[in-house]
Amino acid sequence: MPGYQEVYESSITDSRKFWLDLAQDIHWYQAPSHALDDSNPPFYRWFPDGKTNACFNAVDLHVNNGRGDQTAIIYDSPITGSAAKISFQELQTRVSLVAGIMVDNGVVAGDRVIIYMPMIPEAAIAMLACARIGAIHSVVFGGFAANELAVRIDDCTPKLIFAASCGLEPGRTVEYKPLLDSAISTATHQPDTCVVLQRPQATASMIEGRDVDWTTAESSASPADCAELAADHPLYILYTSGTTGQPKGVVRDTAGGIVSLKWTMKNIYGVEPGDVYWAASDVGWVVGHSYIVYAPLFHGNTTVLYEGKPVGTPDPGAFWRVISEHNVRILFTAPTAFRAIKKEDSSGEYLKKYDVSCLKALFLAGERCDPDTLHWAEQKLAVPVIDHWWQTETGSSICSNYLGFDLLPIKPGSPTVAAPGYQVDALNPRGELCAAGEIGALAIKSPLPPGTFTNLWNAPERYQQAYFSTFPGYYETGDSGYIDEDGYVFVMARTDDVINVAGHRLSTGAMEEVLAAHPDVAECAVIGADDSLKGQVPVGMLVLNSECNKSEDEICKEVIQRVRNEIGPVAAFKSAVVVKRLPKTRSGKILRATMRAIADGSDWKMPATIDDPAILDEIAGSLRSIGYPQRT
């Protein structure tokens, strides 16, 4: 079997043949005769004359191949105390009926459908039902604020909306229907139909003539079959979690996503059909699209859909219970989740209560994985811990290690090496290649491989300007970092988080590594605050482990000295403050740009995706305690 290097080189030197060969591994109604239409860069079209269907590849194919009795979805909800298993046969039946609901309500291929639901099987069923008939789904994170939902309604103009009556958080019920009604009343565009799943925890009021009861409609619907769709037919629109008010809807095509995602399951994650695979994320984010719903089902895996938290449902052993009970082979989650577990149970006492010997590896992505978190997970789980780097726009890994080949040596702080199809370079502001170890803007040579985004919804000019104009011939990732002499990529920070201290460009990510290595620090963030003398200076915010018994002042002094020792006086790192928690999006990304604006006294907008707005008042108070914003 060829190794990683051979596979990677063939993907770069003859990319068309490479991807056309891999395309033979999926089901086509009409197989493509050629791999790429590059006549209109950067709007590349993969497998342009092929016809396929994502739902058929995810569901019907396995039923037709005699595996209908295999479990497709495990639903596990510690919040409700319930669990369920859905076979591929049962999934096919339900998906075809829900697709029938849409057909009965006039939805046709190309129409948009918003899905506004929590982590329950019906969310995945609605996604697959859309794919079945060629409706373009746009999943909006359940419980999203009404004004943000209204913006998305106006941008993608859905004909139909699937919603649940409520979502559940530890200790509270979030009613979705009032938010949905408010969003629709605010929006200019009006959907024809809302299909509402009534959950027992909260019953929603219905609007006659517009709202349809999901259960009643499903019981009376006629099943709809899979549509033969062009390879470049949009599978979904997913709005990124930026803080600007302007929608940014990433468009994923059908065939590219099937080919690339199916390949990753065996070659990156090392699973075989039938293995249980768990991406502990949410269907509202790209991880949920790619690795809760589509990729595992394309590959014939059993996927886990978890309605819970890493801690608090009920304790820091929640993940270990799920792994043990459901025989999970691969866990994929965010470093944030493991930092939360480590904060509450740094000694790993809860882990000792469960047999997790079934686990083959842990994959982390979504935030840069600091070496301390990686080492802690390695030590406690005794399996490979693989940091891999990817984005909403790419839909799968830009860089990773590969369980499907011989595992490459792990370098803490690096997501290892480029995935097949990705030529990653570090570029200086003039667009020239950086030397090994020199920090630059990380960019990927065009064309991007199959499965990456093909456009922004209703915004082709923005697609071109935002991603492909800074470095001609390259996709600009928005991340900065360096590539070492072995070709390992180190993603240090978002480009905006590289700070300029008295003319020196420094990575906040490198400083966060030092802070996170302190034994009493559970989580941290470093931002660049305006400084009248040096331009910018770093400010560190620390969340401490629950077992910490030192004073906050003592720890702040220790981390300041550590940065001075390990990075040097040039970093001018003199300010650190202990906070109870860090502000994050619901997907676990730390809101550094918002904290930077607060530190500078600049105008800022409440991020639509923040998990708890009250945290920002706490952060503002902590920054004031150490003199930010500066008074002039």
Tell me whether residue 548 is in a domain.
yes
Contacts of 2 (CB under 8 A, 6+ apart): 10
What gap in Å lies between CA 211 and CA 195, rounded to an integer? 6
What gap in Å lies between CA 195 and CA 527, rounded to an integer? 44
Query: Which CATH number belongs to the domain containing residue 98 in this structure?
Result: 3.40.50.980
Does position 242 have pLDDT exceeding 60, yes or no? no
Tokens linked to 218: 């499903």
Q: How far is CA 504 from CA 428, 507, 535, 540, 565, in A?
A: 14, 10, 10, 18, 17
Q: Which of 47-56, 150-159, 360-369 shows the lowest mean pLDDT across its residues?
A: 360-369
Tell me whether residue 578 is in a domain.
yes
3-state secondary structure of 289: helix
What confidence category does residue 510 fall into, taking pLDDT thresholds of 50, 70 and 90? confident
* pLDDT computed for residue 362 by the predictor: 98
Tokens linked to 277: 């695979």
What gap in Å lies between CA 308 and CA 136, rounded to an integer? 28
Query: Which CATH number belongs to the domain containing residue 580 in this structure?
Result: 3.30.300.30
Quick one: average pLDDT of 327-354? 94
Contacts of 320 (CB under 8 A, 6+ apart): 350, 351, 353, 354, 356
Give how far the C-alpha of residue 409 lies from the chain's centroid of Cα atoms, to the nearest Å: 25
* pLDDT computed for residue 503 by the predictor: 62
Residue-level length of the chain = 632
Tell me whether residue 550 is in a domain.
yes
* pLDDT computed for residue 608 by the predictor: 74
Q: Does residue 452 contact residue 264 with C-beta atoms inside 8 Å?
A: no
Q: What SS3 string covers 128-190?
A: HHHHHHCCEEEECCCCCCHHHHHHHHHHHCCCEEEEECEEEECCEEEECHHHHHHHHHHCCCC
153-185 pLDDT, tens digit each:
999 999 999 999 999 988 899 999 999 999 999
Q: State which of 184, 201, 227 marks the end of a domain.
A: 227
Rounded to 5 degrees, φ, ψ at 367 are -135, 155
What gap in Å lies between CA 384 and CA 403, rounded to an integer? 9
Q: Which of 356-360, 464-468, 528-532 shows the lowest mean pLDDT across its residues?
A: 528-532
3-state secondary structure of 45: strand
Its domain, for residue 519, covers 502-625
428-462 pLDDT, tens digit each:
999 999 999 999 999 999 999 999 999 999 999 99
Q: State which of 176, 193, 227 marks the end of a domain.
A: 227
* pLDDT computed for residue 632 by the predictor: 42
Q: State which of 166, 195, 227 marks the end of a domain.
A: 227
Q: How far is CA 475 from CA 166, 218, 401, 446, 452, in A?
A: 39, 43, 22, 6, 11
∠ at Cα 543 (498, 546), nearest 5°? 155
Rounded to 5 degrees, φ, ψ at 286 are -65, -35
Q: Does residue 613 contact residue 581 with C-beta atoms inside 8 Å?
A: no
Q: Count of domains in the chain?
A: 2
* pLDDT computed for residue 321 by the predictor: 98
* pLDDT computed for residue 241 by the predictor: 57
Tell me whether residue 400 is in a domain.
no
3-state secondary structure of 435: coil
Tell me whether residue 64 is in a domain.
no
What confidence category does residue 235 fall into, taking pLDDT thresholds of 50, 70 and 90? very high
What confidence category does residue 244 fall into, taking pLDDT thresholds of 50, 70 and 90? very low
- Matching residue, tokens 């994650």: 269
* pLDDT computed for residue 573 by the predictor: 92
Quick one: average pLDDT of 545-574? 89
* pLDDT computed for residue 586 by the predictor: 72
**Who wins on pLDDT, 326 or 504?**
326
∠ at Cα 511 (507, 513), nearest 5°? 115
Tell me whether residue 194 is in a domain.
yes
Tell me whether residue 618 is in a domain.
yes
* pLDDT computed for residue 2 by the predictor: 80
Quick one: average pLDDT of 323-352? 94
3-state secondary structure of 12: helix
Tell me whether residue 195 is in a domain.
yes
